[in-house]
Amino acid sequence: MPQTILITGGCGFFGTWIIRRLLDDGDRPVVMDLTSNTKRWSILLAPEEIARVPFHAVAIDDTAAMLAEVERIKPDAIIHLAGLQVPTCRDNPLAGAKVNVLGTLNVFEAAKARKAATGSSPRIVYASSAAVFGPDAEYGEQQVGDHSIPRPTTHYGAFKLCTEHAAKAYWTANQVASVGLRPLTVYGPGRDTGMTSFPTRAIAAAIHGKPFDIPFTGPTAYIHMREVADMFLACARKPMTDGLVYTVGGDVLDTAGFIRALAAQLPGAEKLITASGGNLPIAANLDDAALRKAYPGLLRIPLAQGIAETITVFRKMHAAGKLEI
């Protein structure tokens, strides 16, 4: 049976790839976002596919509007992606809390209302982040995973951690079940904003033949968005209990290593792409064994393959005059 899957923040980078997969799999994506922005969708979706995706303009932090729309849509699952990223939360923590914390609580309130009305709540999968962890220095040499103590040092990480605890509380108090996923540096076509968007934008810059600086030098965990979409959908489709959270891994490289991997496929990139600054404030050596055990058969896309796939899409966009940096 095709499933109706509501995607909040569905016009963003994650949403675009998740919609692509849902259409490929024959499910029914329904999108909620502030405004209908199809710029990222047009990278992966044909115009007739874009026209077929139902869109609802709702601010995630507007409780009444959220509850009313979810009641109208009656989703089987909600993939909650709407959020503000690290720099925005740093510059405007109050807006960050409103969207990232209150907005997430609204998703759970809407699911709770559906449970009260029908006896079952939509399955919730929400984007947490590896930013719930502090810098590598906090954790020594160990791999950081689901049993590590979160020690966020950014507003964004603190808000994401708050939502993880709230998710557990919604299970305890209301039996509304959820899965939270904690990726770090997600890359691929459509990644254009946020602290960890620079490696993707560096690939675009190298194709343009323009110099570009990645403003961090230390290690991070790189994961292609097609792989992350597979994780969100595996979680959204399986019956769930509890308020669980899984750390997401990736290929761990410093920025010099990323530039070498890029130059292996785009010779000359090493002359255009530079790295400056220090480490990201988030542990890189992430352990996703628990996620892969709970959901066997998840995709794994090594960095070289992910870069190659990104270059293929970016070259087509470049030829059409549509590749932005």
Ligand X SMILES: NC(=O)c1ccc[n+]([C@@H]2O[C@H](COP(=O)([O-])OP(=O)(O)OC[C@H]3O[C@@H](n4cnc5c(N)ncnc54)[C@H](O)[C@@H]3O)[C@@H](O)[C@H]2O)c1
Q: Which residue has the tokens 């890189």?
A: 284
* Shortest Cβ 95–ligand X spacing (Å): 9
Q: Which residue has the tokens 């409780």?
A: 63
* Shortest Cβ 24–ligand X spacing (Å): 19
In the shown chain, the binding pattern of residues 66 to 95 toward ligand X, with x for contact by CB under 6 A and - for none, equals: ---------------xxxxx----------
Rule CB under 6 A: which of 242-301 touch ligand X? none
Residues of the chain by 3-state class (helix, strand, coil), percent to 5: 50, 15, 35
Q: By CB under 6 A, is residue 14 in contact with ligand X? A: yes
In the shown chain, the binding pattern of residues 92 to 131 toward ligand X, with x for contact by CB under 6 A and - for none, equals: -------x---x-----------------------x-x--
**H or E segment and range at residue 157:** helix 155-174
Other CB atoms closer than 10 Å to residue 90's CB: what's the count? 14
CB-nearest residue to ligand X: 12
Q: What angle do CA 161, 164, 169 make, to 5 degrees?
A: 130
Of 9, 157, 188, 243, which lies in the binding site for ligand X, with binding defined by CB under 6 A?
Answer: 9
Rule CB under 6 A: which of 20-39 touch ligand X? 33-34
Alpha-carbon gap, residue 39 to 30, rounded angstroms: 17
* Shortest Cβ 37–ligand X spacing (Å): 6
Q: Which stretch binds ligand X (CB under 6 A): 69-77, 107-115, 183-191, 231-239?
A: 183-191
* Shortest Cβ 136–ligand X spacing (Å): 17
Alpha-carbon gap, residue 285 to 294, rounded angstroms: 20
Other CB atoms closer than 10 Å to residue 299's CB: what's the count? 12
Rule CB under 6 A: which of 46-65 touch ligand X? 59-61
* Shortest Cβ 172–ligand X spacing (Å): 23
* Shortest Cβ 31–ligand X spacing (Å): 9
Cα 272 to chain centroid distance, Å, stands at 28
* Shortest Cβ 185–ligand X spacing (Å): 6
Nearest CA-CA partner of 255 in 305, 302, 303:
303
Return all residues near 70 (Cβ < 8 A) that are at least 6 apart.
Answer: 6, 78, 110, 111, 113, 114, 122
Return all residues near 103 (Cβ < 8 A) that are at least 6 apart.
Answer: 8, 60, 61, 82, 83
In this complex, which beta carbon is closest to ligand X, that of residue 116 or of residue 189?
A: 189
Of 5, 12, 162, 204, which lies in the binding site for ligand X, with binding defined by CB under 6 A?
Answer: 12
Instruction: Summarize as ranges the residues that interact with ligand X (CB under 6 A).
Output: 9, 11-15, 33-34, 59-61, 81-85, 99, 103, 127, 129, 183, 185-186, 193-194, 196
